[in-house]
Chain A
Amino acid sequence: MKYLLSFFLTGAMLFRGETKAQVREEAKAQTPEKRPNIVLILADDMGFSDMGMFGSEIRTPNLDSLAQSGVRFTNFYTCASSSPTRSMLLTGQDTHINGLGAMDEWTAPAQMGKEGYEGNLRTSLVTLPQLLKDAGYHTYMVGKWHLGKAPDKIPAARGFERDFTLLDGMGSYWDMTNMTALNHTSVFTEDGKYLTKLPKNYYATKTYTDKLISFIDKNHGDGKPFFAYVCHQAPHDPYHLPKDWRNRHVGEYDKGWDIVRQERLKKQKEFGIIPENTQLAERMWFVPDYSILAPATRAVLGRKMELYAGLIENMDYHIGRLIDHLKEIGEYENTIFIVFGDNGAEGNDLGAMIGGTPGTLNYLYFATKWSNTDLNAWGEPHSYVGYGPGWAQVSMTPFSQYKGWMAEGGIHNALVVSGPINKLPKGSINHGTMFVTDIMPTLLEVAGANYPETFNGKAQPKLTGKSWLPVLNGQAASPRTDEDYIAMEVFGNRALRQGDWKIRWEIKPIGKSDWELFNLAQDPGERNDLAAQYPDKLKEMLILWDKYVQENNVILPDRTLFETLEDQLPARVPVQDGYPPLNYIRQFIPPADMMAKPKKIKNN
């Protein structure tokens, strides 16, 4: 409320014709506290367990320091894919309302031309940065946008005062090389202008941080708080990282995903991130038991995880630079940090999906632009490395599946909130159910800004998210009641959570092409489908799903990214430790005192 009051007072003084400087001085005198700065860090495809304070062996001291001084939220949800999550974050609206009912790369015929399925952020909706800017915040963005490239859809048009932005969803970290023959060049903007080239010595994570620091410094001292939307490309594939960061874990992952998952699970239990009785999700059936793999295969696959770890550590280093800078200029104590990944870790092989079919244009393009395949070249420009489903499940420990899917591994993310809005003890862990659409109402409340009924003459849909401030103030354990639910759909995969219960529908063979029911409190790894056991509960939740569909104009896709997956993957079988025994039976060694040489045969 005090922020709101300050905002109105400032507006009133300006109306009286006083200079901005006078207003600032008077505001300073009258406002005991400056409104907090907000730094929202989005790590692209970072998994639930990839930060040290969420159980990882990856060294993330700076992210950990935020967690230690703030709160870790263990039941935070995003959408299962990138731009849908970003759209919810920036509008507070469901994807089927805000234009990301389908990603523009995968819009199905049934969805084309339909409102809410534009594949980019609808311009009729107001955005969080727009409202924060109107409320007196400087608004900065660096990093990946993925919400539209046309002039009316770029960050400068959607409320960001300063930006240095990759408009595409992915691409090289080193240059403007993009992913397909027809979309070969990444498009960047800086302060609303499309860039013809990148700055010298460009490296995504570093340059984004440098730019943000320069934005902050430029306006520092004018008395206005800032909102910084830091959308790191890291750790999205391709894993491009500077040489110094590539060899910090050599050989450490040769032990394999099963062991690393166990190690992370143990830490998570020690930290209190997950209940003591949590069982790891089943390893995906097409991901082999690492122990049966040859040393060379372990080394090559392990190398991918080494790079991923280095990529996150490099990102953490640059986040540390930002933190240090804010401390240097005296802004750190008054800055809210919100950190999370935009969806589950990436287990799909995007490189193979795009450029893996000989005889296609994209294959030719990959041969030209993405064929730096030698192991020692991994991390260099034109190399393409993604770590695949085995390691993605590690990143999503203890959950099942990964990005694109509606098991917890696709949508359940680590969330850290720190800074002056947190009144809970430092290092707290909260298990309340949070959703990415909550960020808009939370930050509007922090900034003392109102959500308008109309924007540019267009009526605005109501916000459906819940402010986190009651939780951060210690007044509530969760922003949601037992009746509240969250739901989402992308690529035809669907999920809805209410309390401890969750239903999900996923296309075969990852899912059953049918609804499944899980009790997440008892089974966070989603090992046991309870649909047959609790048909009434399923029915009850399907009613909520139908409500969600109606309220949000959900049009299910008639074609999807995964429609041929059943033909590509081996037949689904249960994964049970130690089966088949053939793989694990070791050489029999008889007792030494019972061993003998063969006896000679007479006359032979």
Chain B
Amino acid sequence: MPARPLSRICYVEDDEDIQRIVRMSLERLGKMTVELVGDPFAAIDAILAFKPDLVMLDWMMPGMDGPTLFKKLREHPQIKDIPVVFITAKASSAEMDQLRALGAAGAISKPFSPKDLPEQLRAIWGALP
């Protein structure tokens, strides 16, 4: 378990409504700082600038999907150690297993409950080595 509490989250998601809900949930209920990125191609620069504790990725995005972006993050020397959690509407257990096999720290299925989201993320954070 990491020594510091989870406080800085970068969320890569193209849907603005969901962006807003996640921001409200994490900031208002979870008391965390959230950086939102709408364009997956801008994600690496944003992450380098923001230095988040944890990155949340949407699975389906225009231009570049979550798994592709995830691989790029893994290959980046300054980003590769930041844990990544997927938020996905793909719900089958096989797909969830596939995500974990990629090296994701966790997966949260859509629709998620904004009431529970901060706790879910903290649980994943707490389970990290």
Q: Do A and B come from one complex?
A: no
